[in-house]
A and B are shown apart, each in its own frame.
Chain A
């Protein structure tokens, strides 16, 4: 549509000023700051790639990286499967389905910080009602967050409790877009529910599933609150994720160069994930731009 040349830019200006100052400037600052360190007097000095070299030579950094990778390799597929299961459960409208849809979204209103606090209380080895229930059911009580072996799996379950309903909405949208007739005709041809799911539904859900998997990965890569609030990276570094390492470097060890080097690595990973996501998204929506 035709308008005087500057008009579209005037409409865009407030949002783009915000994006440039608060999104793109920090990205540049992370990159440039990662090349600086501090002299003994506290002055900022250019150190080139020293921050990165130190990270590469630091075994504790690599253990953080491997914990973060293991965490992501398990939680992302797990959350997507849970979200798909939830979406399948509320796919067909029945009388109660609206109530259940709302119930599945309830954890969205419990912030990630409160989710962490709530579950650290629920799973407390001595006070918590979950162990009370296990004893009641005749099962052995578990240490959950308090043991190096169970902390990471517990973190995965708790984060999934919070996240599954959020991702369900996107998959439900995909399921509702599948024409009912496809399912019905497969049913008439004698396919059972299992065959219909794998033969009809799943192939048609490839795009939404891929989109949710990638977006979920970006979110989980940055998980911070439960580690900070509940486990403090422990026990025995079992939940020491990359974002927590970046936080500690900056605010506990006051090593800004190291912290910004880790931030840059995180940003590169997130940017790579975002580019994959962009591809999926644009092939989904030819009219996007």
Chain B
């Protein structure tokens, strides 16, 4: 059992470890997934920034081309030469700008244009606030740089919208005559174009307001604003600096990253966000759900290894159980069967190890206890019934003989009684007593009861019957009145405590004693239990000698009648009086004695033997514990 327990412990430990691994394994995968999503977000953010920068270069080129238009150069040169601008000039320059804008080819046509003279005054606006003119646009970094001769881009906030703007100086014959600004509005279409190949969503935001996006995703901008508020001055590294943020849009969860837009708009908290739908948590079941059929194919999964390991573990477990449980248990069971059959008196403790050895020892201890109890019971019976000649369980001097003066070392009988030593089963090495078969009973009131086992006949007994004259009884018992003898015999025969019989009877099942004692039909059992019919039992007096005998004739048990006849014959041969000896009382006494003895010893049956004791007829009861 030790190694089985160790093996069970190892199996449980392995199972726990396997369960732990199964529950833990998805976590690194989940972290990798999240890390991968973060990388994807940062990559998409960076790609968008690159795309916007590339778009800025294109827009700058477009502004340069726009500024090199001769119509634009001429118009701004003329506007720069006058101290005051007027509406007519504004309209003329605006028309020029509109014409040039219409000539622009490509998909990224500007949404507005500003034409600025060399001192920074706005000569005309095209397509956006085109009625405003004359204000000083100088001061804005983009325009200052353009008036100084630079081409550059910027991000403006105009009328609540975001514009990617680009500017270029207008130079005519080496002299600066002004600058042009082209603006491209940030729209949903632009956002969709940017994320077309990235499998992410994006949006442009101005503080808490959404400006445009690849898809309408309404979420709380607060966390993103807070995140970009902690960033440094360099906006080009925002995609690597900002940590991904979990946002919730309706019923969908997203992971978002934000990056500031550069230029003037940065001061207005303009930024763009990149979002991906948050992957479902993997977990153990999620991992199982993600397993594909191909993962379990023979080529991708070591089924042979798993199967071999399973068989090895199973074989080892079975082997341990066989060697430590099954085989010892079978050995113990076989030993118990031998014990039950009587092939052995005790279980063999040496061949049983561990707990089985303990069981065997416990059983043996109980067997020893039963033996001691049996010897004690025999002693009690001997004390109760008188000494048996051969030291048997006891004899009953039922009718006339007095109690022995001393037991068991009293004088041995002249003729040894039948052996009272009982064994559960006869063994070849030990003598045992087998009561002879009873003679077939006579026919019983028209019924045909099964034959009863008869007590050994007197003739078969080795003790010689020494008859004595009836007067001898009186001579040997001068102080005893003949009528007292029957009264005294029951007192001597059954002077045990009344509660002892129930105690002994609990050693076996309650129904077992009748079953083992009377393997005959119930009516016959009743006949054996009481030699008299119930309706007749009250007709007898309490005198065994027949005083007060009723008129009704009792039913006669053949076995008891046989014993009775033998007893009467023995008394006559011993010259003892038999005048008061009545069969009914005799049989009643035997029945009671048999029942008491069966309760006390747990025997199956009781045999009665007639013999001579001290020159007087005596009767001996011998417990029978097994079938012959």
A binds B: no
Q: B residues touching A (Cβ–Cβ < 8 Å)?
A: none
Q: A residues touching B (Cβ–Cβ < 8 Å)?
A: none
